């Protein structure tokens, strides 16, 4: 029985074989020295650089080409169309210059009005000239300026003194010596001056209005 067990047939394991193709490509190994590699890199860089070397030249030529096209377009226009286009461009420039000139004239006019106002306001005894100028801004828009000067400021100064006497420079009241007129006498004098002021306004005597207004302010 044991002999039968020991007589087992041998198990043979066969490894499968893979057949290689007859036309298998040959793998080539490229060997290169460091100097050769550096030379190759330098060559590639030079090629890229030369590709864009003439970029500025191309840009200049493109600009010249656009200019030539514009000249050609104008040349192809009829005489009438060309003149109309030139006239349109001239008209636009003319309008722009006219606006600048108008702004300059307006600025010059306002400067003359302001200078005239300051001079006359100071002469009339107004102490707060800047405040007076701001309060009169709307009225000053009606002031006229021509070759003879500025017209209309006197009326505005007169109206300011009458309606806004607080703008006048305040003078210190001196203590009255014994024997000077009483307050009643001063009040009567003020009333007389105010009546004269009313007459001056009716007569549109603006110089007199300013004079009397200053005198009344000094009495109060």
- How much of the chain, in percent, has pLDDT values that exceed 90? 15
More confident position, 86 or 32: 86
Q: Which tokens in the block code for residue 80?
A: 């009438």
Contact yes or no for 145/126 (Cβ under 8 A): no
More confident position, 202 or 4: 202
Residue with tokens 């100064």: 157
Q: Which tokens in the block code for residue 61?
A: 């030529």
- Residue 3's pLDDT is what? 47
The structure's pTM equals 0.43
pLDDT tens-digit map of 21-30? 555 555 555 5
Partners of 149 in beta bridges: 146
pLDDT tens-digit map of 48-96? 666 665 666 777 888 888 888 888 877 777 777 878 888 888 888 999 9
Average pLDDT, integer, range 136-147? 89
Q: Can you list the alpha helix ranges (DSSP code H) found in 124-179?
A: 129-135, 137-140, 153-163
Q: How many residues does the chain have?
A: 220
What's the number of CA atoms in the CB half-sphere (13 Å) around residue 17? 4
Which residues are CB-neighbours of 201 under 8 A, at least 6 positions away? Answer: 158, 162, 209
């Amino acid at each position: 029985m044991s002999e039968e067990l020991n007589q087992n047939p041998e198990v043979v394991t066969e490894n499968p074989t893979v057949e290689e193709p007859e036309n298998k490509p040959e793998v080539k190994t490229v060997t290169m020295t460091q100097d050769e590699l550096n030379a190759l890199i330098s060559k590639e860089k030079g090629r890229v650089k030369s590709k864009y070397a003439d970029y500025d030249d191309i840009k200049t030529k493109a600009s010249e080409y656009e200019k030539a096209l514009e000249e050609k377009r104008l040349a192809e226009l009829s005489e009438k169309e060309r003149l109309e286009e030139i006239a349109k461009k001239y008209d636009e420039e003319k309008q722009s210059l006219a606006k600048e000139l108008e702004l300059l004239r307006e600025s010059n006019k306002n400067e003359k009005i302001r200078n005239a106002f300051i001079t006359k306001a100071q002469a009339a005894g107004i102490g707060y000239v800047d405040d007076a100028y701001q309060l009169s801004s709307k009225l000053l828009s009606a002031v006229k300026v021509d070759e003879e000067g500025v017209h209309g400021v006197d009326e505005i100064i007169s109206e300011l003194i009458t309606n806004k006497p607080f703008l006048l420079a305040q003078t210190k009241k001196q203590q009255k010596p014994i024997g000077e007129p009483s307050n009643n006498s001063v009040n009567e004098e003020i009333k007389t001056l105010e009546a004269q002021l009313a007459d001056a306004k009716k007569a549109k005597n603006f110089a007199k209005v300013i004079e009397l207004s200053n005198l009344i302010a000094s009495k109060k």
